[in-house]
Structure 1
Amino acid sequence: MNNSREIKAVFLDRDGTICGDDTVHYPGKFKLFPFTQELISNLKKDGIKVFSFTNQPGISAGKAATHDYVEELTAFGFDDIFICPHHPSKGCFCRKPNTGMLQTAAEKHKLSLENCVVIGDRWSDMLAASTAGCVKILVKTGAGHAALNEHFDKINDIELEYIAENLEDAVDWLYQEYKIT
């Protein structure tokens, strides 16, 4: 673990991480965990950029529109939103576990991904973070238990920095481990 890193940005997965369970909840039906908005605000107040990065194949299936996600996530306080709208069969560069969204954000915001944290509930979040060189925090909410049990073979070679009970626990650990003030 390299806690001498200076954390510049946190990438938060949407479904299962900032609220919800292991299913997709479309904009308008998505309610944050009670502590999520305050955590986003605190990170930003402490000089950390907070980005949403999310796979949303329902967009390409016509079940939702990109602008609805962007509007919702912007209202939650995110500094920027990165969405993969593609179906998994498309083999795009942006869909997690690929690193396209992370790389696009790094270029756009002039960040080194080594100084970024990914907090998510799925194996694909952790694999993308690992490939990009980010700090990796898996939350047990959403699909987190499945990532640790049913999909462990996909992440067993990844050294996770922390496994958190939920987003609040993840951010608390981040503040303690990396001395964010």
Structure 2
Amino acid sequence: MEKIEAVFLDRDGTIGGDDTVHYPGEFNLFPLSYELISRLKENGIKVFSFTNQPGISQGKATIADFIEELTEFGFDDIFICPHNHDDDCSCRKPKTGMLLNGAKKHKLELENCVVIGDRWSDILAASKADCKKILVKTGAGNSALSEHYQKIKDIEIEYIAKDLVDAVNWILYRQS
């Protein structure tokens, strides 16, 4: 595997929480998520949050609330889609806007980046942007492999991980 420049991490179901949205103040990281973000960074890999948060456009939380929370988790940068499901934006996963913005801002080659997520939309966005793809079985990961499998069945997923620990270990093993 080429040297990984950055990892784009989904929030809900990937680094904590479950298959539903929990707003800042109610969101709990999985054990070791903070340490795993730090381990990636210690290995010279930038770590970005990229998350769909339609509750922002519904007034349930603010972008500032999410930025404050995600900054505390140790992310190098944060990319948030605040739009509703039916808004025609370019950033909401499975669209690639957040990944493209991250690549432009940080001068990255997306084929040298990894997306880790639990939903079919994370994997599809990663595929469209030519990133490496890791699906975690936490959160909505199992449903991505069952009821939503048709949406990603033609995508070569580099790794299906039990959880974030497994995903990060897989990346770091291949970087050594």
TM-score by length of 1: 0.96
User: Among the aligned pairs, what percent are the same residue?
Assistant: 70
Match of 1:121 among 118, 121, 138: 118
The within-5 A match list for 1:65-144 is 65-144=62-141
Is the 2:4–2:175 contact (alpha carbons within 8 Å) kept by the matching residues of 1? no
> Could you give the per-residue CA deviations for residues 48-76 of structure 1, whole angstroms, max 9, x where no partner exists?
00000000000000000000000000000
SS in structure 1 opposite 2:71? helix
- Looking at structure 2, the residues matched to 123 and 113 of structure 1 have their Cα atoms a distance apart, in angstroms, of 19
Q: CA deviation at 1:34?
A: 1.1
Name the structure 1 match of 2:50: 53
Opposite residue 179 of structure 1, the aligned amino acid is: Q
Query: Does structure 1 residue 17 correspond to structure 2 residue 8?
Result: no
Question: In the alignment, what sits opposite 1:164?
Answer: 161
Q: Which runs of 5+ in 2 are unaligned?
A: none
Letter of the 2:149 counterpart: F
For 1:132-164, what per-residue CA distance to the aligned partner results, in whole angstroms no more than 9, with x for missing partners?
A: 010100000000000000000000000000000
The amino acid across from 2:156 in the alignment is E
Q: Report the alpha carbon displacement of residue 179 of structure 1 after superposing the two structures with TM.
A: 2.0
SS in 2 for 1:88: coil
- Which amino acid letter does the alignment assign opposite residue 63 of structure 2? T
RMSD over equivalenced CA pairs, Å? 0.6
Structure 2: which amino acid aligns with 1:6? K
| Pairing of 1:21-36 with structure 2 (within 5 A) | 21-36=18-33
- What is the rounded CA distance, in whole Å, between the counterparts of 2:138 and 2:78 in structure 1? 21
* Equivalent-residue separation in structure 1 for 2:30 and 2:87 (angstroms): 32
Deviations 1:99-125 (A, max 9, x none): 000000000000000010000000000
Deviation for aligned residue 1:21? 0.8
Report how far residue 17 of structure 1 moved.
0.1
Structure 1: stretches of 5+ with no match in the other structure: none
For the pair 1:38 / 2:38, whether they are aligned, the reply is: no
